A and B are shown apart, each in its own frame.
Chain A
Amino acid sequence: MAESAPEYSKVDKIIESYSCEGSALIAILQEIENLYGYLPAWALRRVSEKLNVPMIQVYGVASFYDAFHLTPRGKHLIRVCLGTACYLRGSARVLEALEEELGIKNGETTPDLMFSLQSVHCVGACALAPVTVVGERYFDKMTPTKVRNVLRRVQSKNEKD
């Protein structure tokens, strides 16, 4: 998803559903993030305006939490679990293999906006360690060798859709 053009009505609807309450800032930002895959600048300005919350506070909150991103993300979100159980079973090597394969570093998005790579700490499925989640699909007992296959499967499913 590339940079989005302003769609004020959509964002206004979200803000109004929370009765324009300043205390709902994080929840509102989460809905906007869900909609666009990131938080466009125009949307943040709109939120600040309508909630009457200082822009610097909105921007600060948007920059602080892992759920929020200020630049567009890839179509497929790859989350490599680096939680302790997964780490001890070698998930760091899975992350390295993915970085190598995709040509991007942890936290980045491929230039074609197809993949975003993100390490996370604990998805709560420790018995399946090491775990990598692509979109909503869990891949258990991941190894560097399986990385290429997983990416291929995701790509081919993508082409089918």
Chain B
Amino acid sequence: MVTLTINGTKVQAEEGSTILEVARFYGIDIPTLCYHDELTPYGACRLCMVEIDDGRRTRLVASCLYPVKEGIKVKTNTERVVKKRKLILELLLARCPNSKTLQDLASEMGLEQVRFKMENEDCILCGLCVRMCAEQMGSGAIGFVGRGQKREVVTPFRVASEICRNCGACMYICPVVELQCRGVKSPGEICNSCLVFTPRCLEKYGQVMCTLDSCGACVEKEEK
């Protein structure tokens, strides 16, 4: 067992576990996008970056990958980290402005506007679908192809895959494409509907329609 400090609290952890695993175990929330506890961590979204002090110096590491070490002091929400996480969200929203997951995260972080030229992509290249297909479903029908700006998730030669079993796991695990935010009125806007302190459903229905998870019911119903 290893002893370390997270946000001032001394905690114990099994050797080989990551900071993220330990933090979540102790109920300390660190936002993630490309992480899933049933898949190998990928470290691509960089939302889970935290500050660690290992006795010699302070540095920033991805908590989903960094193995806990004896005596390290972890800080998950320093100004340095929080400000930059917001910028990551802003960049992702500029790419996929209608993703409900991204919109909700943006609301939570207090992001107010997207200052970049808007695009309209469906994928944040988090790789969850790729890892799901390879690791959980044992297929490997899709993967990353291309470099840099040309990077995308496709099948070989972009034709129907011979090994895809149509299980739908890739769609299930996707944090972005499946759930679309329908409250955004113009590109670059942060909707905020689902996470406002007084949800609209309270006025409309006399009670709050969701308890723990944002359901979007207020938005859908209004559109109808």
Q: Which residues of A come within 8 Å of B, CB atoms?
A: 41, 44, 54-60, 63-65
CA distance A32 to B112 in the complex (A): 52
Q: Are B147 and A59 in contact (CB under 8 A)?
A: no
Q: Are A56 and B147 in contact (CB under 8 A)?
A: no
CA distance A25 to B44 in the complex (A): 26
Interface residues on B, range: 10 to 19
Q: Are B146 and A63 in contact (CB under 8 A)?
A: yes
Across-interface contacts of A41 in B (CB, < 8 A): 157
Q: Which residues of B come within 8 Å of A, CB atoms?
A: 140-147, 150, 155-157
Across-interface contacts of B150 in A (CB, < 8 A): 63
CA distance A63 to B148 in the complex (A): 11
CA distance A65 to B157 in the complex (A): 16
| Supplied contacts A56-B140, A60-B144, A63-B145, 15 more A-B pairs, CB within 8 Å | A44-B156, A54-B140, A54-B143, A56-B141, A56-B145, A56-B155, A56-B156, A58-B156, A59-B145, A59-B156, A59-B157, A63-B146, A63-B147, A64-B146, A65-B147
A interface, by DSSP: helix, strand, loop or mixed? helix
CA distance A99 to B150 in the complex (A): 22
Across-interface contacts of A44 in B (CB, < 8 A): 156
Across-interface contacts of B155 in A (CB, < 8 A): 56
Across-interface contacts of B143 in A (CB, < 8 A): 54, 56-57, 59-60
Across-interface contacts of B156 in A (CB, < 8 A): 44, 55-56, 58-59
Rounded to whole Å, the gap between the CB of B66 and the closest CB of chain A is 27
Across-interface contacts of A58 in B (CB, < 8 A): 156
Across-interface contacts of B146 in A (CB, < 8 A): 63-64
A sample of 25 inter-chain contacts (CB < 8 A) reads A44-B156, A54-B140, A55-B156, A56-B140, A56-B141, A56-B142, A56-B143, A56-B145, A56-B155, A56-B156, A57-B143, A58-B156, A59-B143, A59-B145, A59-B156, A60-B143, A60-B144, A60-B145, A63-B145, A63-B146, A63-B147, A64-B145, A64-B146, A64-B147, A65-B147
